[in-house]
Amino acid sequence: MKAILVTKQMITTSEYIEVRTSLIHGSGIYAKKDIPKETRIIEYIGEKISRLKSELFDENPEKGIYLFELNKKYDLDGNVEYNTARFINHSCNPNCYVEIKNEEIWILSINEIKKGEELTYDYGFPLFNFLNYKCNCGTKKCVGYIVERDLWPKMFKKLIKMKKKNLVLSNK
């Protein structure tokens, strides 16, 4: 990882990546060259904020997508211009994962990523307000919403209940 000085903060970058327009959402991160399996690609950086402050982001879903839980007291708000990793989009079938150790957040490759592929990871959102977070990953495994994989069965049950309710209401 390289860092370029910008005012008081450092912009994160990596020999492996470049930012380009994404078919998933806005901008995305793409492999500039083949990335070997289990490679630390880029650090996810930002502003350390209190959990109390980050809870206010629940009212604004766009802001909440850049948060990572560091510990019981603090989260990391990655929605800052010097965090290049913020451009990595969500996928229901990701090619990267997140490693958090000692309050450092790294994006690593799951398997080899070929030059030109978009880098993605599973944002792993809770079920709370899941309808606000539609997924556009377009993979065969896409479930339609950005929800933690372990919670997919619960999400499907909720969606089925909602569909049944709507059918009942629409028949009246």
Q: How many residues does the chain have?
A: 172
Q: Is residue 163 part of a domain?
A: no
Tokens at 38, concatenated = 């289990």
| Alpha-carbon gap, residue 168 to 172, rounded angstroms | 7
Q: Is residue 160 part of a domain?
A: no
Q: Is residue 136 part of a domain?
A: no
pLDDT digits (tens, 9 = 90+) for 18-68: 999 999 999 999 999 999 999 999 999 999 998 888 877 666 655 557 888
Average confidence (pLDDT) over 125-151: 91
Q: Is residue 170 part of a domain?
A: no
Cα dihedral angle (77, 42, 9, 79), rounded to 10 degrees?
A: -30
Q: Is residue 14 part of a domain?
A: yes
What is the CATH classification number for the domain harbouring 43? 2.170.270.10
The pLDDT of residue 6 is 43
Number of domains observed in the structure of the chain:
1
pLDDT digits (tens, 9 = 90+) for 87-130: 999 999 999 999 999 889 999 999 999 999 999 999 988 888 88
Q: Is residue 115 part of a domain?
A: yes
Does 3 have pLDDT greater than 90?
Answer: no
For 90, the domain range is 2-126
